[in-house]
Every structure is written in structure tokens, then in C-alpha cells.
């Protein structure tokens, strides 16, 4: 199980001597599927080319940011022009103000916004701000929701529904983890029991509104409404992590689709046009607690970087000009319908979750409610499917716990070619 060409093999051997695991982010190491990764030479549109010259239709898109596809002219030209006037200043620039204005216009719950350089920074800062605003220490997260790798959020569930969390990584002090309570997603009874017992101690709930880091999981009817009402009742804040879903599923992300108003929201990916970026924003009275106005400290040398801001603005303008969200829904529906028909024809146990341009294929007949259901799919089958597709030029996420992405560069022909490969691979498993 290894599609590496000889040059990728050689470079990966060198990388492992210089970089822990040979990668700069763990999922790239292919540990969930076995084998070793390939190295990319270039990418354009819906396709990537590795350093051995093999081409793939890509359904990762840099894990979400590349909603227009790889290297779109609108963004590459913008980066080229903006870079002529400087790459980084550490001084306010016009692009960051325009980006802030755009986010506030597109997302009704956001009255003020602060830029960061990553989604991890955004969620970490939103948690600190919520604690500062409420003057409470405890936060609630959900098992299977990933919010970056800051200490307060690398926490796994404890031994019972109402216990404190346990560190999910070496190097995270137990005392930090004890300030985070972990619940099962889509379990209203556990949520209500927790707030009945300890609601006045909780600063915030943070949630991936559509969890997309354990496959793609949807809230049960009324669940997100419950998060809204229970936090208001107890004086806690509700933080939507829309780093992945924001500006991909519509102008206002999940909160726009569900007509909800969180207190704080976290963004990233699409608003950077492929460059490092993050942002968090919400009600002005909460945001005004941030330094230099208020006592909650947050800073970043490259926050509001002109290249990232300009690239993100170019991407958002292009999405608007091309009626991008409607087109992505059209492409997503085309792919989902073809995939459902194929799975039924092949008699493969499956679940397909799809919203807009985000999708996930689970090899199980179980209803997918939370991460426990995701973990019980046929992982051995997924590995065979992944390698079969990679061998035939289809690049899916090298993990059964990740979401796939369609871009505006994908065509119906790309999607149909992909389904043909899926059919060939399934026939051989």
C-alpha cells in the first residue's frame, strides 16, 4: 500500500531525518491509511501533480481554503501585485480593514472582528475572551470536535458524562484539561444535566456547528437551538467554530443556514485565499474587552498580513461574481446523487453526509450522530478504498475522519470520472 514514486520516497526519507515524522502536520503522514505520502510539485484547478509526475483529481483543496481551486488567476495576480508594495509591515494596512468590513457585512452576528494567523489562534483567543467576559473558568467542548491545538482544547472525554476532561496530548497539564468539560455531540440530555448542575460556572460552549474533523456530522433537529438557549439562560457564551464551514457554505456559514446568532465566531481557511489566516469576532461589547481597549490580551506579529487579506478578499469577490455558492451546491448535489446510486448498485454499506461543497463517505450502515458512530465504520475497507483511488489518480483525505471538499474548479466531468474510478476500485475490494 504505497503509491509513492521513487523521488517522493527519496525526499520523504530525508524529511524524516529533519522533521518529526517527516511532516509538519500529523495527518499528512498517512498514518491512518498506512504507507507514506507523496510530495506535490504543483497544482492547478482541480488537479495536483506530484514530484514524480503523477496527476490526481484533488478533493482536499489544502484542507478547505481552496474553494476556487488551486492557483486561481484572481488570487495569484492579486498576490503578485500586492507583494510589489511589501509583504509584511507590522503596521495597520487597508486590506485588513476591508476584510473586517466584509466579515461584519456577511456575518450578521459579528459586529467587530480581530484577525489572527491561524484557526488555532482564533479559537484559543475566543476562549480567553469568553473567560474574561464572563469571569468564569470552565468551558464545554464536544468529543470529536477539533478546534486547533491549544492546551485548553486538546482535551478528551473523562470517564463519565459530567466529569472533567483529560489531556489528549502529552505536554498538556492536567490542571488545564480540568477546566474543559467534554460532552458527546448531539446528546441534549447530557448538556441539560451539566448546565443544571454547573451552569453558573461555565464561561462558554465552543462547537464546530457542523463537526467536520471527524468525518462530517450534522446536528440533530433543535440541537443547535438548544446550545443557544441554554447558554443565554445561564449567562455563558456560545462560540461557533466556523474555521472550516465559514464562507464555504454560504456568506454567513452554518449560522446563516440555521438562522442562529452565536456570541462569538471563529473563521479561517477561505478568508485567506490559501495563505495562513484566522479571525474571531462577535458582539461589540464582548470584543471590546480585547487589548488595547480592554484587559484581555491578544496579539500577533503577522495578524492582518496584507498578502493574506488581499488574497482572501480576491477570493470572496470571485465567489460573489461567479454565484459561487449556488454553483458549489449544484456540483455537490451532482456528486452526491451519483455516489448514492453507485453505492446502492455495488451493495456497499454506507452513509453519505453532504452539505454544499463538503462531503464524507462512511463505510457503515449506522446513522452518524457523533464521533463514536464514525469510529465504528469499516476502517479496513476505507484503507483499501483510499489506496485504490490514489493508484488511479483520485486524492481523497488519507484518513476516514476527514471531510472532502469540492471547488469551483471541479467540473461535472471531474466528478463523473471520480465516480468511475470509485466503481472500479469497489469492484476490486
Strands 138-143 and 180-184: parallel
CA pair distance 362, 156, nearest whole angstrom: 23
CA pair distance 282, 259, nearest whole angstrom: 15
| CB-count exposure of residue 380 (10 Å: 0-12, 13-18, 19+) | exposed
Task: Give yes or no: 383 in active site.
Answer: no
Query: SS3 for 405?
Result: strand
CA pair distance 290, 125, nearest whole angstrom: 10
User: Cβ(181)–Cβ(206) under 8 Å?
Assistant: no
Nearest to 49 by CA among 33, 79, 71, 78: 71
Catalytic residue among 269, 373, 401, 414: 269
Task: Give yes or no: 269 in active site.
Answer: yes
CA pair distance 304, 89, nearest whole angstrom: 10
Query: SS3 for 407?
Result: coil
Strands 237-241 and 351-355: unpaired
CA pair distance 135, 203, nearest whole angstrom: 7
Grid cell 498538556 is found at 172
User: Cβ(262)–Cβ(240) under 8 Å?
Assistant: yes
Task: Give yes or no: 146 in active site.
Answer: yes
Catalytic residue among 58, 241, 373, 414: 241
Catalytic residue among 56, 59, 138, 146: 146
* Catalytic positions: 146, 241, 269
Amino acid at each position: 500500500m504505497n503509491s509513492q514514486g521513487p523521488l517522493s520516497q527519496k525526499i520523504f526519507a530525508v524529511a524524516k531525518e529533519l522533521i518529526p515524522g517527516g511532516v509538519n502536520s500529523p495527518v499528512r503522514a498517512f498514518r491512518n491509511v498506512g504507507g507514506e505520502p507523496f510530495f506535490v510539485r504543483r497544482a492547478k484547478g482541480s488537479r495536483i501533480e506530484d514530484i514524480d509526475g503523477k496527476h490526481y483529481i484533488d478533493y482536499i483543496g489544502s484542507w478547505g481554503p481552496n474553494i476556487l481551486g488551486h492557483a486561481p488567476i484572481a488570487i495569484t495576480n492579486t498576490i503578485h501585485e500586492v507583494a510589489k508594495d511589501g509583504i509584511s509591515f507590522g503596521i495597520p494596512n487597508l486590506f485588513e480593514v476591508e476584510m473586517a468590513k466584509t466579515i461584519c457585512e456577511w456575518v450578521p452576528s459579528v459586529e467587530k472582528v480581530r484577525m489572527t494567523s491561524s484557526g488555532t489562534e482564533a479559537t484559543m483567543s475566543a476562549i480567553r475572551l469568553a473567560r474574561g467576559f464572563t469571569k468564569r473558568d470552565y468551558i464545554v467542548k464536544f468529543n470529536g470536535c477539533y478546534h486547533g491545538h491549544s492546551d485548553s482544547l486538546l482535551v478528551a472525554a473523562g470517564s463519565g458524562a459530567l466529569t472533567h476532561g483529560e489531556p489528549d496530548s502529552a505536554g498538556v497539564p492536567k490542571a488545564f484539561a480540568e477546566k474543559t468539560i467534554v460532552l458527546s455531540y448531539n446528546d441534549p440530555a447530557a448538556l441539560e444535566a451539566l448546565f443544571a448542575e454547573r451552569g453558573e460556572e461555565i464561561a462558554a460552549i465552543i462547537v464546530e456547528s457542523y463537526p467536520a474533523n471527524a468525518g462530517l456530522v450534522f446536528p440533530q433537529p433543535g440541537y443547535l437551538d438548544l446550545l443557544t438557549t441554554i447558554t443565554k439562560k445561564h449567562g455563558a457564551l456560545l462560540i461557533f467554530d466556523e474555521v472550516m464551514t465559514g464562507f464555504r457554505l454560504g456568506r454567513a456559514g452554518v449560522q446563516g443556514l440555521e438562522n442562529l446568532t452565536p456570541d462569538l465566531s471563529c473563521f479561517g481557511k477561505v478568508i485567506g485565499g490559501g495563505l495562513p489566516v484566522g479571525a474571531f469576532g462577535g458582539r461589540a461589547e464582548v470584543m471590546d474587552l480585547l487589548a488595547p481597549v480592554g484587559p484581555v490580551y491578544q496579539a500577533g506579529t503577522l495578524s492582518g498580513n496584507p498578502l493574506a487579506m488581499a488574497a482572501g478578499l480576491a477570493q470572496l469577490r470571485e465567489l460573489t461574481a461567479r454565484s459561487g455558492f449556488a454553483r458549489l451546491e449544484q456540483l455537490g448535489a451532482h456528486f452526491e446523487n451519483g455516489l448514492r446510486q453507485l453505492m446502492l448498485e455495488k451493495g456497499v454499506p454506507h452513509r453519505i453526509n453532504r452539505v454544499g461543497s463538503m462531503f464524507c463517505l462512511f463505510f457503515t450502515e449506522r446513522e452518524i450522530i457523533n464521533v463514536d458512530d464514525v469510529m465504528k465504520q469499516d476502517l479496513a475497507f476505507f484503507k483499501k478504498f483510499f489506496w485504490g483511488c490514489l493508484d488511479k489518480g483520485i486524492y481523497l483525505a488519507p484518513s476516514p475522519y476527514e471531510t472532502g471538499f469540492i471547488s469551483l474548479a471541479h467540473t461535472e466531468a471531474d466528478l463523473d470520472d471520480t465516480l468511475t474510478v470509485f466503481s472500479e476500485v469497489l469492484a476490486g475490494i
